[in-house]
Amino acid sequence: MPDPSYRRTKIIATLGPATESEKDLTRLLQAGVDVVRLNMAHAKHDWTREIIRRIRTVSQKAGHEVAIMMDIKGPEIRTGDLTAPLELLAGEIFDFTIQPGAARENAEEIRSVDVNYRDLVNDVKVGNIVLVDNGLIRLEVLTKSEAHIRCRVITPGVLSSRRHINLPGVKVNLPSFTEKDRLDTLVGLEEGIDFVALSFVREAADITKLRTFLKENKSKARIVAKIEDQSAIANLDEIIRTTDVLMVARGDLGIEVPYQDLPVIQHRAVRTCLAVGRPVIIATHMLESMISQPMPTRAEITDVANAVYEQADCVMLSGETTVGKYPFECVRVLDTVSRRVEEELATDFPEPAVFIDERMKFMRSAVVMANEFPGSRIVTFTRRGLNAAGLSAHRPARAPILALTDSLQTLRQLRIVRSVEPYFIGPFGDPEKTLTRALDKLRDAGRIKTGDKLVIISDVLTTDNERVDSIQLRTVR
C-alpha cells in the first residue's frame, strides 16, 4: 500500500485577497500547497514584490519551501469601458469599434463598444464568430471596415466594461510576450521566482522567445506553457517538447474549442507529456462551485479524480483561493481526493512508459526495481532536478522519489513534479559521505527507517573522469 503521509499529485494555489496575508499563507502551506501562483493580469509591481518576499518568509518559518509561479497576462483582446452595461438582444446589429471617434454608418441606430486591439479588423473575416465574456455572448461578423466590425448577436447577454474577447479558429497576430509581460517578468526575476507561465502559447517559437529573454537576464526560472486556443492544439507536440512544463488552461481553451473536444484534448496532452517526460498541470474550474459553497459538486470531485487517474503532475486552484469563501477547504478537497485515487492506482498500476533515450531506460530499470519491493523508497541526487524528473516520468507505482539537492531553487522547482519529495543537503562531496548525510537527513525527517529498502540512483566519476551511473539496492541499517 502507498505511504499515507505522502501525496504524489502536487497542488497549485493562486494567491489573492482571500489568502495573501501571512496568517492565511501559512494555512495554505499547512493544508498542503506545493506551488503558489501569482496572476499578473491585474497585479501591481509593489504588491508583487511584497507578496514574493512574504511567501519566502512564510516558507522558511514553516520549514516548507514552496515554488512561486508568475503567470503573465499574455496577449488578450478586451472591450473598452462603458458608461453602463448594455443588454444585447438576439438578432441585434452591434459594432466593435477599432478607431474610436471615427464615423460609422447608421451610428445613431447601432450600438457599439471600443476594442483594445487595432488589428482585429485584419485578423477576422466575414462569417467568423466572436465570443465575449467567456463565451456568454456570441456574435457573427457581417461586414468590416477600417473603423469598425459589424456583427449580429446570436446569443444575447449583458455586456459590461473590459470583457474578454475570444476568436475561435482565428490566428491573432498579437505578440506572445507583450511589453507588460516583459516588465512584470523582470520584477519576478529580480525577486527570484521559480516559474514563468506564458499565456496563450500558440507555437514553439513563443516559448523560445521567452527562453531567450530569461537567458539574457541570467535566470534559471522554468517555463510553463499554457495552451488556451486552437493554434496551440495544432502545435501541441512541438510545444510540449520545447517547454519545461505544460498547463492545460481549460478556461479559455473550453471557449476556443468545441466543448466535447475538451476532455479529449486534456487526455491527449497528459499522455504526450508522460511520453516525453514533461510535467503537466490541469487548471481552471476544478472546484468552481466552492468559490461560494463549502462543499464541491459530485462532478467536480470526479473531475479532480480524473486528473489524478490520468497521472497529471499538478492540479490547480484559481478563483477558489483568490476570492473564494473556502480556500483552505478547497485545498483539503484536492488533497483528500488525490490521496484516495492514488491508493487505487497503487493497486492497479500500468507499466512504466518506454523511452528511447538511454538515460531514461536506465531510470526505468530503477523504477521497475522499486515496484518489485513494496514499501521501498527511491533515493536520487540531483543538481538541476533532471534525475528526479526523469524518474517521475516513469510514474513509480508506490515508492516516493526522495530527491537530495544542493540547490534551493532546484528544490522549489521539484515541487511541481509528481511523486518527488525534494530535500536540501548542502554541497555534494565524497559520494559515500554524501550518501550518509542524505540518509541521516531522511531518517531525521521520518521518511526512512530501519529495514526500509532503498533504490539509490547516483553517478560517480572514475579516475579517467568518466561518469558511471549506478543503481544500488540498500537496506537501512
- Sign for the CA dihedral angle at 226, 231, 233, 234 comes to negative
Altogether, the residues listed in the chain come to a count of 477
CB 331 within 8 A of CB 31: yes
Q: How far apart are CA 155 and CA 272, in angstroms?
A: 36
Which residues does the annotation mark as catalytic?
A: 37, 78, 226, 284
CB 246 within 8 A of CB 238: no
CB neighbour list of residue 183: distance below 8 Å, 6 or more residues apart:
45
Angle 428-473-423 from CA coordinates, rounded to 5°: 35
Q: What letter represents residue 464's amino acid?
A: D
First to last CA, the chain: 22
Long-range CB pairs of 229-233 (<8 Å, 24+ gap) are: 229/166, 229/168, 229/200, 229/202, 229/253, 229/256, 230/168, 230/169, 230/256, 230/257, 231/171, 231/202, 231/203, 232/200, 232/201, 232/202, 232/203, 233/257, 233/265
Take residue 214 and report the three cell numbers written for it. Answer: 530569461
Take residue 415 and report the three cell numbers written for it. Answer: 515541487
Take residue 451 and report the three cell numbers written for it. Answer: 529495514
